[in-house]
Chain A
Amino acid sequence: GAVVSQHPSRVICKSGTSVKIECRSLDFQATTMFWYRQFPKQSLMLMATSNEGSKATYEQGVEKDKFLINHASLTLSTLTVTSAHPEDSSFYICSAVAESSYEQYFGPGTRLTVT
């Protein structure tokens, strides 16, 4: 089946620094990828829709200047958390849409801890 990878799987950073998370579709092309955030024991909250070659579409309440998304190729999207604060600590998950079936495949997630 389709595989989506994320890197890194875990990251600890200091408050005020920036962190970049990569999401790759390994064996299929994805013109659309999504970034989600998940708090403990909660469901996934959609942050933004990443479209290859164009600007991301952010959900209401998500700061686009804080969560920078770049989708430079059909297999790679990146999420950069700028000037991270402890409240940004969360589990970030990406997904990629297989255009043939419109099924979403999810990455393994990245645990971000801001100290």
Chain B
Amino acid sequence: KQEVTQIPAALSVPEGENLVLNCSFTDSAIYNLQWFRQDPGKGLTSLLLIQSSQREQTSGRLNASLDKSSGRSTLYIAASQPGDSATYLCAVRQLGYSTLTFGKGTMLLVSP
């Protein structure tokens, strides 16, 4: 059974810092991996999707990497802003399945 772990569970940084969120998964037979953002009381916004054949994806200040063989992904946020404050969720899709397995998320607080 696939398990997804996110470290740290919570992170507080001052504005402007570069930061890294970590995600690990136990079964490397994945189809893709997605990073989401969730604001309190809201749904999920897809940030980046990495196919299993890819090593990284970039969107603006966000960069996500994937090392499938070691079961790890990182989300790098450059020059953090208070508006980046949210919970970041990592989810993987197994080969042969359409469902996603989610980690518990990292709650990020960026203070001005």
A102 adjacent to B32 (CB under 8 Å): yes
CB neighbours of A105 from chain B (8 A):
46
Considering only CB atoms, which chain A residue lies closest to B90 in the complex? Answer: A43
A108 adjacent to B43 (CB under 8 Å): yes
B89 adjacent to A43 (CB under 8 Å): yes
B36 within 8 Å of A (CB atoms): yes
Tally of contact residues, A, Cβ under 8 A = 24
CB neighbours of A95 from chain B (8 A):
44, 100
Interface residues on B, range: 20 to 34
Question: Could you list 25 examples of A-B contacts with CB < 8 Å?
Answer: A4-B43, A6-B43, A32-B98, A34-B100, A43-B102, A43-B103, A43-B104, A44-B89, A46-B100, A49-B99, A93-B43, A95-B44, A95-B100, A97-B98, A102-B31, A102-B32, A102-B98, A103-B32, A103-B34, A103-B46, A103-B49, A104-B100, A105-B46, A109-B41, A111-B41
